[in-house]
Amino acid sequence: MNNARVNRIKDVLFKYFGIVCTLSGLIILAIFILNILIDGVQRIDWSFMSSLPSRFPERAGILTAWTGTFWIFCLTAAIAIPIGVGAGVYLEEYSKKGWLANLLEINIANLAGVPSIIYGILGLEVFVRILGFGASLLAGSLTLALLILPIIIVATREAIRAVPKTIKEASFALGATKWQTISRQVLPASASSIITGIILALSRAVGETAPLIVVGALAYVPFVAKTPMDEFTVLPMQIFNWVSRPQHGFTINAAAAIIVLLCFVFLMIGIAVYIRNRAQKKNPW
Amino acid sequence: MLKIKEYIIEKALFMCALITVLTTAGIILILTVEAFSFFRNVSLYDFFTDPQWTPLYSEKHFGILSLLAGTFLTTVIAIMVALPVGMGIAIYLSEYAPRSFRKIIKPLLELLAAVPTVVYGFFALMVVTPFLQNIIPGVSGFNALSAGIVMGVMIIPFISSMSEDALHAVPKSLREAAYGMGSTRLQTVFRVTIPSASSGITASTILAISRAIGETMIVTIAAGQMPGLTLNPLKPVQTITAYIVQVSSGDVQFGSLEHQSIFAAGISLFALTFILNSVSFWIKKKYRIQYE
């Protein structure tokens, strides 16, 4: 065999290696979801969704956990969206080039890489102890809001940057002020990309466990939270708690709770992707 | 009137941006202040040389080395899984795959990164560990290997998508020159494209390492709670992150030395990931200038 042929064969072999790598990731994901479905799907029924936690696996439910997750979702969104979008708008439209802009930029890049558990430590000291919110829904949501801020800011900046300059210039030419231009032209034009980024960021917040453990979310909460100052648990906390127990019944409960959590997370991602695709299709520029 | 409104809005938006700086300042301040009071009771020398980490036992030792060993072990295993697979995916998608296939596969791969980590923990403990116990004798119920492998699966999309971007950014002319000389795609990839994209690939790998070091739930659930100076992947270990979880979910008194130890562990973790992130950021920045 001559050299050229050996190289051809190597090339083809490598192509198959690439295909195997690509598919292996997806196959692992599939095996893993299938496994959890087999373990947990028959456990999901109305009483599982509407029961309080219990020492007995057959009687335990996830009512406090999913309502907690819902609370956390709403509060985190309410805190993180205005701040994140605001910061993104400032950095893209207002901030002048200079040391401050540079500092902000490097800082956000770094924050995006800080381990989530470190945010938990920050939340524990600042929100739980110094501001005195206790191990409440509010403290947990504030912590998660800080965690996802960098993601929302980066998404907002990219979305705004994609808006053509001509739109802004036309608005200025008609005598609009800077804020009028931003609020009536730039933000509506970039809305779908910003919303996609926000939903993806929130889907991450919903799945977080570590920072909430540090903040003090409880594994056992015998009542449904009514105000943001109540103690709370969330689905990932409940799953963690059940996984750490030896009884088989709790393992099945954990699998069932995972199905509920995954449905929620994948639904959010699905919505985000749908919005992105729809926006790409009717994009005028 | 309009001018005042514009001014107020600009200041309000600036405040939003300032919160990110305050977050960083808060993290650094809290970790240093609390770690400082910890280091008044434990000498830095002991912290870095004591081979044991047993703050929750009656005979207390505070040697970060054993937590670092656990962190190092799980991270190395994760990278050994994620780097070859992630690079394989990146090269295949950017150089070989048809465009339509790439468009479908990329969002699916990103789902791997979207799965909550507690779910991966369940997977490691309930599926991967029993599987490993079947094929390798002497695997403990909690072990670094299973946690590391699953963590590797989780970080595959980080490596594959950032490396693919880096490969994609290599100018077409370079590839075409290589093809013109009669190279196959494989030769072009390894002798032209990868060397040209090396800084982007390095940056993505460093970021993935930092991600693995900071990952918490998988190692907490599947790697055990046993700090020890071991590099045996079949035995239980404890990582820095898992230790912080252990203390936080137990009933340790606020302000006690045990509780302060999470800040000492936290500052080590923060320093480690901060250095890696900065190096990655710096490499990437340099690389951008090179190609634009």
DSSP state of A124: I
- Nearest neighbour of B114 by CB, restricted to A150, A254, A269: A269
- Nearest neighbour of B9 by CB, restricted to A10, A149, A179: A179
Instruction: Please state at what angle helix A99-112 crosses helix B2-39, rounded to 10 degrees.
Output: 50
Q: Model ipTM?
A: 0.91
State the Rg of chain A over Cα. 23
Strand partners, B53: B62
Tell whether A8 and A72 lie within a shared domain.
no
Tell whether A66 and A179 lie within a shared domain.
yes
**Cα–Cα distance, B270 to A258 (Å, whole number):** 30
Count of alpha carbons within 13 angstroms of residue B279, beta-carbon side: 16
Tell whether A12 and A86 lie within a shared domain.
no
Residue numbers in A near B212 (CB within 8 A): none
Residue range of the domain that includes A112: 46-281
Q: Do A87 and B16 touch (CB under 8 A)?
A: yes
Tell whether A105 and A172 lie within a shared domain.
yes
Tell whether A28 and A58 lie within a shared domain.
no
List the CATH number of the domain containing A144.
1.10.3720.10
Q: Tens-of-pLDDT digits for all 285 residues of chain A?
A: 678 888 888 889 999 999 999 998 889 889 988 989 998 888 888 888 888 877 787 788 888 889 999 999 999 999 999 999 999 999 999 888 888 888 888 899 889 889 999 999 999 999 998 998 888 999 999 999 999 999 999 999 999 998 999 999 999 999 898 999 999 999 999 999 999 999 999 999 999 999 999 998 877 777 888 888 888 889 999 999 999 888 888 889 999 999 999 999 999 999 998 888 888 777 655
Count of alpha carbons within 13 angstroms of residue A137, beta-carbon side: 27
Token pair recorded at residue B94? 């950017």
Touching B: A residues 201-260, CB under 8 Å:
203-204, 206-210, 213-214, 216, 219, 236, 239-240, 243-244, 251, 254-255, 258
Cβ atoms B222, B242 nearer than 8 A: no
Tell whether A64 and A34 lie within a shared domain.
no
- Nearest neighbour of A115 by CB, restricted to B123, B186, B241: B241
- Which residue is associated with the tokens 């973790």? B269
Those residues whose C-beta lies under 8 Å from the C-beta of residue B43, and which sit 6 or more positions away, are: none
Q: pTM for the full model?
A: 0.91
Tell whether A21 and A92 lie within a shared domain.
no
Cβ atoms A107, A149 nearer than 8 A: no
Say how far residue B100 (Cα) sits from the centre of its chain: 31
Tell whether A141 and A233 lie within a shared domain.
yes
Sign of the Cα torsion B218, B221, B225, B228 reads negative
Tell whether A105 and A178 lie within a shared domain.
yes
Q: How many structural domains is chain A composed of?
A: 2
Distance from CA of A249 to the nearest CA of B (A): 13
